[in-house]
Amino acid sequence: MEKLTPQAIIDSFGKKLGEGFIGSSIYEREIAVKKNKFRSLWIEVKKSAFRDAVAHVCHIQEYPHLAIISSSDLGTEVELIYHFTIYYGEHLQELSLGLRVKLPKSDLTIPTITDLIPGALFTERETQEMMGVEVVGIPDKRRLFLPEDFPEGAYPWRKDEKGPPNDMLRVLPGREPK
């Protein structure tokens, strides 16, 4: 498949997802002496269009590279960013694509993408145990990093009452407990 420009990629997402497409931005920076461009794309989609969006990434690039899912606690909602890279394998051609989806805390679920990208399993398991986002249809529900005796219902990356309990945190000498 022919390589699209960053703007054309964004347009194709808009066309494909329609209502499910929320917004996008292109980040560009010149680096070092030759001022070659470093480019990355950010696309935000609705949760309902999320699966279609990932399928579209797989359509643009056969075997897209999913580096990681990052998750942020934004107060009333949790933001997941799926960090893809596409067009790898050639000098200066690669693009980073951050696919953003926001979930309300009342419904912290996201469908799995392991059927499209088998290697997404570890990061989905991590997101599940660390942020408390339920990955629906995940083939392996076990914890990845947290020990078995870590309390149920506590999630280390959360900044609300579901974060790690206070008695698990060591306060450094000379500091106040949070």
Partner 1 sequence: MIQEETKKATYTIPVGPIHPALKEPIRLALTVDGEEIVDVDIFAGQVHRGIEWLGMNRNNAIQNIYLAERICGICNICHPFAYILAVEQAAGITPPPRADYIRAITAEMERIHSHLLWAGVAAHEIGFDTIFYLAWRVREEIMDLIEYVTGNRVTKAIFQIGGVRRDITEEQFPRIRQSLDYYKSLFGQLKRVFLDDKTIRMRTKNVGILKREDALKLLTVGPSCRASGVTKDVRQDQPYAAYADLDIKAVTPDMVTGTVVGDVYDRIIVRLLEVKQSIEIIEQCLEKMPPGPILAQPKTAVLLKTLTQAEGEGVGRAEAPRGEVIHYVRLEAGQSTLATWKVRAPTYVNLMSVPTILKGMQIADVPIAFASFDPCMSCTNRVVVTDRASGGNSVMSYEELSRLSVEKTKELLR
Least distance in angstroms from the C-beta of 19 to partner 1: 25
Bridge partners of 110? 135
Bridge partners of 84? 66, 97
**Contact status: 55 vs partner 1 (CB under 8 A):** no
Site residue total, partner 1 (CB under 8 A): 49
Q: What Cα–Cα distance (Å) separates residue 177 from each residue in 103, 126, 165, 168, 174?
A: 30, 27, 12, 12, 10
Stretch that binds partner 1, among 8-16, 28-36, 46-54, 104-112 (CB under 8 A): 28-36
Taking each helix axis from N to C terminus, what angle separates 6-17 and 50-60, rounded to the nearest 10 degrees? 140
Least distance in angstroms from the C-beta of 75 to partner 1: 11
* Residue from the set 14, 22, 26, 96 that interacts with partner 1 by CB under 8 A: 96
Closest to 128 measured CA to CA, from 113, 149, 114, 109: 109
Closest to 66 measured CA to CA, from 77, 76, 52, 81: 81
* 1 vs 19, beta carbon nearer partner 1: 1
- The residues binding partner 1 (CB under 8 A) are 27, 29, 31-34, 36, 38-40, 63, 65-68, 70-72, 81, 83, 85, 87-96, 98, 117-123, 143-147, 156-157, 164, 172, 178
